[in-house]
Structure 1
Amino acid sequence: MSIIFLESKDNPKIKHLRGLIEQSSYRKKQGQTVLEGTHLGLAWVEKKKKLNSIFTTENALEHPDICDILDEYEGAVFVIAESLYRDLSTLGTTLPFLAVVDLPSSSQSVDFSLDTLILENIQDPGNVGTLLRSAAAAGIKQVICTKGSAALWSPRVLRAGMGAHFSLNTYENVAIEDVLDRFEIPVYVTSSHQAESLYQKDLTQACVWILGNEGQGVSDFALAHAQALSIPQPGGQESLNVAIAGSICFFEMVRQRI
């Protein structure tokens, strides 16, 4: 492991890092993304995955969490000024840690018999990351993301997912029309206008959950090719946040299977 001090914001390494943080097209072109925060860094190395480079500050180098990561790392550590780190960071107040990693390549095909989460045009990174986190906690291993949804491996979605990505098989930019009819298991969507309650449905077998856009909900195609379920809301609210609605569905499934 080598330690290299970088001072200029115009250094090519800093420009590359900034591009990965800020630009989805650049991440796709380079085949890389950025993990921010030691929680993600630790979760990554615990999965025996490779870190390409690490950026931190001089004061943070001796922190136990960073030392634990460095114990599993053999590359260069780039040390930058606190002010430059704050300019790059999307978190603000966490222990300074940024790591460049390769985007995973999905070597497996979609398994149409497994519990699956489909995110249809969900655009908020926080909602997407939270849904991945809840899905992973509920034992769902496969996530399909349609075009128009937030990029699964963007730094903001990674941050919200808190490491859930690392235990999931993910597929992005999928046309829902290409996959929905191929599932061999029940497919469900949530809808506030359907009479059948989530709590009346047998969820003990593998199934697919489709969750839709924060404003418009799921598409007409999804509604026509799935069973619609409602979440009872005796308080009379018009709708639930999509990440909360999805989490309720996942853990009702878990409750029935325990």
Structure 2
Amino acid sequence: MSVKAIHSRDNAEFRFLKNLAEEARARREAGLTLLDGWHLIEAALQAGLKPEKLILTEGVVMPAGAQALLETLPVLSLSEALMRALAPVKTPTGLMALLRIPQPAKTRREFAILLEDIQDPGNLGAVLRSAAAAGVQVVYLSKGCTDAWSPKALRGGQGAQFQLAIVEGADLAEVAAEFPGGVYAAVLGAEAALYQLELTGAVAFAFGNEGAGLSRSLQACCQPFSIPMPGRVESLNVATAAAVCLFERVRQTAYAGSGGRQ
């Protein structure tokens, strides 16, 4: 096991890691990101991805499953203060990993989501988690979306990113035009309700910015629908709206062969 200890914020390798933790541009240029905690590292391993380096707080107790990695990867040992500077949470786990960002795999496009200008990494992570759970195959992110591979988005996704083909910087109008099925968007006041849609074939849902929603130009590429809300609430958080829509498709698909919708 090769261990390198870092004690100074001025260390070049620490500054590189700090940039990865904070800047999307640094992650894009290096093709690398940071995983915080054993849960994310384990999720990456289960998806066939191996970290390039482990980063530990001095004296941290390693999970049993992580012991084998110590024998095969370079290890950086940081003080608690330096680890706090890297971690996306106030109370660090004491274990991080450097991972090469995977390229989106070629896959079927029968179930997809289009995300336009989502700004909050926690919201994005939550949407991706619902997408992975619902069986979405491809996620298209507009140029204005927050980085899907930031430590905060990864933490919000809890490993979802490793189960999805994620295409960043996509032209969503072009994607919608070429998608081999219906492309649907939740729009306030739309006549058709979610539960009236036929969602058993190839389906894509488009979700927009937390405040502004979908742009008019993208709405024009989609079939509008509304999510019934009998309560006195004007709209749903984007992550909640996505979960409702994605699992309605799951429900319809599950019962497609049993004599109709249940």
TM-score (norm 2): 0.92
Contact map agreement 2:110 2:201 (CA 8 A) in 1: no
Do the aligned partners of 1:45 and 1:69 also contact (CA within 8 Å) in 2? no
CA contact (8 A) 2:194 2:225 kept: yes
Distance 1:197 1:44 in 2: 38
Distance in 2 (CA, whole Å) between partners of 1:114 and 1:256 is: 14
- Residue in structure 1 matching 2:68, options 62, 66, 71: 71
Matched, 1:98 2:96: yes
1:175 to 2:171 alignment: yes
2:155 to 155, 159, 164: 159
Q: Give the whole-Å Cα distance in 1 for the aligned partners of 2:185 and 2:5.
A: 51
Q: Displacement of 1:48 after TM fit?
A: 2.5
- Structure 1 residue runs of 5 or longer lacking an equivalent are none
Residue 34 of structure 1: how far off its partner (Å): 0.8
Give the Cα–Cα distance (whole angstroms) in 2 for the partners of residues 33 and 80 of structure 1.
17
C-alpha contact (below 8 Å) 1:125/1:157 kept by paired residues: yes
Contact 1:57-1:81 at 8 Å conserved across structures? yes
Consecutive unaligned residues of structure 2, counting only runs of 5 or more, are 255-262
Q: Which letter maps to 1:223?
A: Q
Aligned amino acid, residue 192 of structure 1: L
Q: Secondary structure of the equivalent of 1:71? A: helix
2:258 equivalent in structure 1: none
Alignment check: 8 A CA contact 2:118 2:145 kept: yes
2:58 match: 58
State the one-letter code of the partner of 1:69.
A
Matches within 5 A, 1:187-226: 187-226=183-222
Indicate yes or no: 2:93 matched with 1:83: no
- Deviation, 1:135, is 0.5
Distance 1:34 1:163 in 2: 13
SS at 1:213 equivalent: coil
Deviations 1:102-152 (A, max 9, x none): 1222353x75x4210100111111111100000000010110001101111
CA distance in 1, matches of 2:218, 2:32: 32
CA RMSD of aligned residues (A): 1.5
Identify the residue that residue 252 of structure 1 maps to in structure 2.
248
Q: Distance in 2 between matches of 1:164 and 1:175?
A: 23
d(CA) in 1 for partners of 2:223 and 2:80?
A: 52
Match of 2:259 in 1: none
| CA distance, structure 2, for counterparts of residue 192 and residue 178 of structure 1 | 24
Inter-partner Cα distance in structure 2 for 1:29 and 1:36: 20
Q: Secondary structure at the match of 1:173?
A: coil
Secondary structure at the aligned position of 2:15 is classed as: helix
Q: Matches of 2:138 and 2:165 in 1, distance apart?
A: 5
What letter matches 1:9 in structure 2? R
Partner deviation per Cα, 1:83-104 (whole Å, 9 max, x = no partner): 2211222212242112111122
TM-score by length of 1: 0.93
Aligned 8 A contact 2:124 2:153 in 1: yes
Alpha-carbon deviations, 1:144-171, whole Å to 9, x = none?
A: 0011011111111111010000010010
Letter in 2 for 1:166: F
Q: How many residues align?
A: 253
